Amino acid sequence: MQDRKDLEKELERELSEMLSDQVVDSEEERLKKERSRLAPKYEVRIQTQLDPIVEETLKYRSMGKEIDGRYDAYLKRAGVSDRKEEN
Q: What is the spatial distance between Cα 50 and Cα 82, in angstroms, rounded to a whole number?
A: 17
Q: Does any domain span residue 62? A: no
Q: Does any domain span residue 81? A: no
Q: What is the pTM of this model?
A: 0.39
Residue-number span of the structural domain to which 7 is assigned: 2-37
What's the domain count of the chain?
Answer: 1
**Which comes out higher in pLDDT, residue 58 or 26?**
58
Q: Does any domain span residue 43? A: no
For residue 85, the tally of other CB atoms under 10 A from its CB is 14
Q: Does any domain span residue 25? A: yes
In this prediction, residues 26-52 reach a mean pLDDT of 83
Q: Does any domain span residue 87? A: no
Q: Does any domain span residue 23? A: yes
Nearest alpha carbon to residue 62 among 54, 52, 51, 50: 54
